[in-house]
Amino acid sequence: MALQQHIFMDKYMMIVLGFLMIGIPIAFLSPTTGELREQPFFALFWASIGGIIAVVVYSGYKGKKARQQANRERRRKFKK
């Protein structure tokens, strides 16, 4: 049961991931006019990329820990 709750990511991590993915085009496009910026915000672009990597790594870590806990519980039930 615990494994099924964390198949991909928490809902909060999905929201953060969505904001980070929206930040990438904002770094290159002006939100008010929709045109390309002359000087893009590279800091926003790289921060978004780094944040996406961090979210994916963290969700993988949490999934691994949940699988380990489920395996521990399964082994404990099987031994009894």
23-75 pLDDT, tens per residue? Answer: 999 999 988 888 998 999 999 999 999 999 999 999 888 888 888 888 888 88
Q: Are 23 and 74 in contact (CB under 8 A)?
A: no
Phi, psi (5° rounding) for residue 54?
A: -65, -40
Q: What is the pTM of this model?
A: 0.74
What pLDDT score was predicted for residue 27?
92
- Domain hosting residue 45, numbered range: 2-79
Rg, the chain, Cα only: 19
Kindly give the residue spans of alpha helices, DSSP state H, lying in the chain: 2-5, 11-28, 42-79
What is the domain count for the chain? Answer: 1
Of 41, 38, 13, whose CA–CA distance to 26 is shortest?
Answer: 41
Whether 44 contacts 26, CB under 8 Å? yes
